Amino acid sequence: MNEPRYQRRKDERPQEITEAAFEAFAEHGYAQTRVEDVASRAGVSKGLMYLYFRTKEELFKAVIRNVVTRRVEALIRVLEQSELSSEEFVRGPMQEFMKSIPDSRVPVVIRLLLAEGPRHPDLVDYYWENVVSRGLDAIRRFLERGVERGEFRRTAVNDLPQLFLAPVMLSIVWKILFSKRTLDTNHFIETQIDLILDYIRAEPVAA
């Protein structure tokens, strides 16, 4: 009869609130989400929100950083597997990683950043330094290593690692806007990789 009306869980709260906020922002976007919505999703009162996050904007930034941080770890993990030939690596772990992005939380982050980013340059910088910049550098280094090993030619692609990400980006936008129109994202990404490999491969293929 007298279950406590709430529990004190100081340590778990931030994570729980952040998680609830991500879902709410994902559904309605930042501006359309009320702090109270997030609170009730997290099973918490509105007032409590302001004990852990000074403003709604602080909460927003915490959410983005939270997601991004995890993603970076995943990226690094993939890049450490390197006993394969360059082509095997591209067709294997790298392709898998790229295919996984459109179904991850990244599209939500992109959407939120595009909408609110211009008002939060520091957040965009954070995303740049921790995700985009690192990712591009990793691809660049990988291509360079392929050239040194004699597996790849040196081409314009060496300076345009973005070519690998282009289909991923389009898939993300497609997913956000046109989720009801089908696009075989996996096939799309595979085909782009075919184009790139055919272009940069050192040995001409003997049919």
What does the binding site for DNA look like in residue numbers (CB under 7 A)? Answer: 4-10, 13, 33-36, 43-48, 50-51, 54-57
Segment near its own copies (CB under 8 A); pick from 60-68, 98-106, 122-130, 137-145: 122-130
Could you give the string, one character per residue 134-153, with x where binding to its own copies holds by CB under 8 A and - elsewhere?
--------------------
CB of 30 to DNA, least distance (A): 9
Tokens of 30: 């930042």
- Contact between 39 and 21 under an 8 Å Cβ cutoff? The reply is no
Smaller CB distance to DNA: residue 56 or 105? 56
Extended strands (E) in 88-182: none
Query: Judged by CB under 8 A, which of 170, 182, 186, 202 binds its own copies?
Result: 170
- 75 near its own copies, judged by CB under 8 A: no
- The answer to whether the beta carbons of residues 39 and 19 sit under 8 Å apart is no
Contact between 181 and its own copies per CB under 8 A: yes
Both structure tokens of 91: 């067709």
Q: Which does residue 25 touch among DNA, its own copies, none (CB within 5 to 8 A, set by kind)?
A: none
Are 25 and 112 a contacting pair, CB within 8 Å? Answer: yes
Partner residues linked to 152 by β-bridges: 201
Q: What is the DSSP letter of 93?
A: I
CA distance 72 to 35: 28
- Answer yes or no: are the C-beta atoms of 27 and 69 closer than 8 Å: no
Does 55 contact its own copies by CB under 8 A?
Answer: no
- Only one residue has tokens 């179904």, namely 103
Cβ-proximal residues to 145 (8 Å cutoff; 6+ apart), any chain: 86
- The identity of residue 160, as a single letter, is L
Binding of its own copies by 205 (CB under 8 A): no
- Residue 110 binds: one of its own copies, DNA, none (C-beta under 5 to 8 A by kind): its own copies
Chain residues binding its own copies by CB under 8 A are 29, 31-32, 110-111, 113-119, 124, 127-128, 132, 156-157, 160, 162-163, 165-167, 169-170, 173-174, 176-178, 181, 183, 187-188, 191-192, 194-196, 198-199
